[in-house]
Structure 1
Amino acid sequence: MNPQLLASGLYLLLVLLPSIAGSQAKTGSEKFSAKVIYEALSASNALIWLGEDLGIYEKHGLDVKVVHGRGAAPVQALVSGSVEFGAFGGASTIAAALRGSDLVLVAAKPNFMVMSIWTRKGSPIKSLTDLKGKTVGVSLAGSSTHSIARLALRKAGINEKDVKFVFHGTLPDIFVSLGNDWVDAGVASAPRPGFHEVADLSIERIPFLQGAIQVQRGFLQSRRPVVLDFLKAYVESIKVAKEKPDLAVGSIVKHLRMKPDAARTAYRSFANVWEEVPYIRSESVQAILDLHPRDAVKNITPDKFIDNSPIKELEDSGFIKQLYGK
């Protein structure tokens, strides 16, 4: 593992471990304390930030601390039990599960690619086919940006071995590399002034679990009511984001320090793929499995990584219909 990523992960765990005791169940009217960790500095996490900014978690009986981690740190934190909820890429979750972790996907964020290929303005790269022999910046090996880049290259008929991937910690780091001419192109969701969009991969609604809500299976079994409460808040945040764009844009501006116009553009990209009932789709997980060596995923189906039962319970109970006034 990259030493820098390992160091960042260990640091995050050291910060979180002392407060694990605060995540124990509360009694009476006290709220259950939990943490949710995200990785991508992307508008996709507006749903997580809205829950904090608008007090939606508290409304559903939870005291939730939203934590950011770079690189592999979010997966490490969730696997170790230092946090209760994850809100990061489906590709990272599946890779961890294939290595034997107890992680399971319980809600989508989203089920489709919402990424673009970017270059510097004036770059000779005008299409995906021009990437052959070039360097492409992505966030982390096996991450959503890396996986989506590989799928995009396949779609363009390019062997991924003909492209050199350069790994970065965060999406902003990719643009730093682009701006300094350290890479020829980069994969990211958020627009940045001064860069050229070579391909918008979200237009075709290509199935791919770019982001999700994850928990440990053991936590889902032992604290199912807590998971249900968190997902109630998550589903309500989706409703707020879709029906009150200004609130979602405000959270994006606040947490990503974006200019309002750029935040609105980023918001619109994700608003089209946020679903009222955020089931994990099998085809979006299968797209990730297809990127793994055949021997590594032989006889493995998407169901191994998915538990849609909490979302189904919310739907069957009428909670989601009532939320939308149906």
Structure 2
Amino acid sequence: MNSILKTSLLALALATAPITAAMSADAVKVALPSKMFLNVVEFVAQEKGFYEAEDLEVEFTHIADSSIPVRTLIAGDMDIIQAGMAETLVATGRGAELKTVGGVHNGLHYAFWTRPGSGIETIADLPGKNVAISSPGSLPHVVTLALLQKEGVPQSKIDKINWVSIQGSSARINGIIVGAVDATVASYSPEVERSGDANLLKIVGPELPDYIMIPFDTTDRMIEERRDVLKRFIKAQLLATRFVLENKDETLAVAKGHFDYTDEDLDAFYKFYVDGRIWNPNGNISADAATYMQQLNVDTGLQDEVLPVEEVLDTSIVDEVIAEIGTYEK
């Protein structure tokens, strides 16, 4: 082979190498809730190269109604959803072949908001009031029912609540502000809290410590056929979460590119999520928590029976990742 031909082939190889690498990245479609500060982990994972390091091309779709992602997962339109464990458990109880495999957004990031002058001093005051949820059986609905259950409110009184369907946290909070509803579970907002237009009755997370908020849910088929992809995705998520917890300034710089918040608000959000232990840098979900979530569904009429844990939870992939990267101790 002459030197000119060798040079030409080498140039061609170098030119096509980046294209080949890009084409080799595994595509992953993920459904997320409405865009919120919670997902700064995902934004960091993309912009700081955590997905790229695992040879993944991750596409996000934000869906406000938390009951919809489960249907997209079953239909095969999504590979992974981060929507709400309660909805996935309901679908599994009805025969869908789905599993929760871990999660970094396990803590409840919700606040319970009330309308000033509504007369609501405790959760037990909700009967007879207009309470906003996303839709029947959605995450805000189940969380509100869990709070009512904890307060010991009987079903006869719960039946007197007027449930109002309003999709999206911001829309539900706005419903409070304009006086359309009396109370709702919705995301935390420093601006709303400062304004006094809605009263922050309580932070929900500490009230329901065993509640699993927004884990990674996927199909049995995904686990069987693309296990390595799932493992790399979870690894990227855990490493990005640890980065977020260790690098406040860089995290807020990323967040600033996605949200039109003041520096004061961004700092308040970060403090809320870190202090509330909303992000889980180890991605683990216990069998007890999975059972609690199912029992809650049964108690609220969303699920017929508590299924064996192995039918709803598969922690093996997270266990493998932790064995590689170690447990986050801080």
**Under TM normalisation by the shorter chain, which class is it?**
0.7 to 0.9
* Counterpart amino acid of residue 50 in structure 1: V
Report the Cα offset of residue 325 of structure 1. Answer: 11
Q: Secondary structure at the match of 2:200?
A: strand
CA contact (8 A) 2:104 2:281 kept: no
C-alpha separation between the residues in 1 aligned to 2:291 and 2:115?
Answer: 33
Partners of 2:159 and 2:175 in 1: how far apart? Answer: 21
Match of 2:161 among 152, 160, 163: 163
Q: What's the counterpart of residue 295 of structure 2?
A: 290
Separation in 2 of the partners of 1:301 and 1:325? 30
* Structure 1 length-normalised TM: 0.82
Structure 1 residue matching 2:230: 3-state secondary structure: helix
How far apart, in 2, do the equivalents of 1:302 and 1:40 lie?
A: 29
SS at 2:244 equivalent: helix
Pair 250,196 (structure 1): closer, same or farther in 2 beyond 3 Å = farther
Deviations 1:147-201 (A, max 9, x none): 1110111222223223222122211110121122111011013224232101222
Structure 1 unmatched runs, 5+: 1-25
Segment of structure 1 superposing worse, 280-289 or 148-157: 280-289
Write the distance in 2 (CA, Å) between the matches of 1:196 and 1:122. 10
Give the 3 Å change call, closer, same or farther, for CA 280–123 of structure 1 in structure 2. Answer: same
What is the aligned partner in structure 2 of residue 308 from structure 1?
Answer: 315
Once the two structures are superposed, the pairs formed by residues 33-52 of structure 1 within 5 Å of their partners are 33-52=27-46
1: CA distance, partners of 2:298 / 2:263: 42
User: Contact 2:107–2:279 (CA<8 Å) still a contact in 1?
Assistant: no
1:138 aligned partner: 133
Contact 1:127 1:199 in 2 (8 A): no
Distance in 2 of aligned mates of 1:28 and 1:202 = 40
Tell me the residue number matched to 1:257: 260
Match of 1:6 in 2: none
State the distance in 2 between where 1:253 and 1:158 align.
42
Distance 1:96 1:255 in 2: 32
**Alpha carbons 1:113, 1:207 under 8 Å: kept:** no
1:118 corresponding residue in structure 2: 113
Matched length = 298
Flag structure 2 segments of 5+ consecutive residues without an equivalent: 1-19
Structure 1 residue 64: deviation in Å? Answer: 1.0
Bigger Rg, structure 1 or 2: 2
Contact between 1:235 and 1:320, CA under 8 Å: does it hold in 2? no
Equivalent pairs: percent with the same residue? 22
What secondary structure sits across from 2:297 in the alignment?
coil
Residues 251, 170 of structure 1: alpha-carbon distance in 2 compared, 3 angstrom cutoff:
farther
CA contact (8 A) 1:40 1:88 kept: no
Query: Take 1:129 and 1:231, find their aligned partners in 2: how far apart are those partners?
Result: 39
Aligned mate of 1:61, from 39, 49, 55: 55
Alignment match of 2:326 (pick from 301, 320, 324): 320
Could you report, residue by residue, the CA deviation over 1:130-155 in whole angstroms, capped at 9, with x for unpaired residues? 22211111223222221111011122
Question: Is residue 84 of structure 2 the alignment partner of residue 86 of structure 1?
Answer: no
